[in-house]
Structure 1
Amino acid sequence: MTRIDFHSNVGDALLYACRLLRKAYQAGQPTVVLADAARLRVFDELLWTFSPLDFVPHCMADSTLAATTPIVLTTDLDLAPHHQVLLNLGAGVPAQFARFERLLEVIGNEPDELAAGRERYRFYRDRGYPLNNYKQGA
Structure 2
Amino acid sequence: MTEVAFHFNVPDKVAYACRLLRKVHRTGARVVVTGDPGMLRSLDTELWSFSALEFIPHCYTASAQPQVVEATPVVLADSPRAAPHLDILVNLGEKVPESFERFERLIEVVTQEPEDRVLARGRWKHYADRGYAIKRHDLAQPEAR
Structure 1 stretches lacking a partner, 5+ long? none
Match of 1:88 in 2: 91
Question: What is the TM-score normalised by the length of structure 1?
Answer: 0.94
Is 1:36 paired with 2:39?
A: no
Residue pair 2:111, 2:117 contacting (<8 A) in 1 also: yes
Residue pair 2:81, 2:98 contacting (<8 A) in 1 also: no
Residue pair 2:79, 2:97 contacting (<8 A) in 1 also: no
Is 1:73 paired with 2:71?
A: no
Query: How many residues were matched structurally?
Result: 138
Is 1:133 paired with 2:136?
A: yes
Q: SS of the counterpart of 2:10?
A: coil
In 1, Cα distance between the equivalents of 2:136 and 2:53? 29
* Alignment of structure 1 residues 1-138 onto 2, 5 Å: 1-61=1-61, 62-63=64-65, 64-138=67-141
Structure 2 stretches lacking a partner, 5+ long? none
In 2, Cα distance between the equivalents of 1:14 and 1:101? 23
Letter in 2 for 1:70: P
State the 4+ residue runs in structure 1 displaced beyond 6 angstroms. none
- Counting aligned pairs with the same residue, the percent is 44
Question: What is the TM-score normalised by the length of structure 2?
Answer: 0.90
In 2, Cα distance between the equivalents of 1:109 and 1:53? 30
Aligned-CA RMSD value: 1.2
For residues 35-86 of structure 1, give each alpha carbon's deviation from its aligned partner in whole angstroms, at most 9, with x where no partner exists. 1211111110111122222211100234331111100011122331001100
For residues 9-56 of structure 1, give each alpha carbon's deviation from its aligned partner in whole angstroms, at most 9, with x where no partner exists. 111111111111111100011000111211111110111122222211
Select between 36-45 and 54-63 the one with higher mean Cα deviation.
54-63
In 2, Cα distance between the equivalents of 1:118 and 1:111? 11
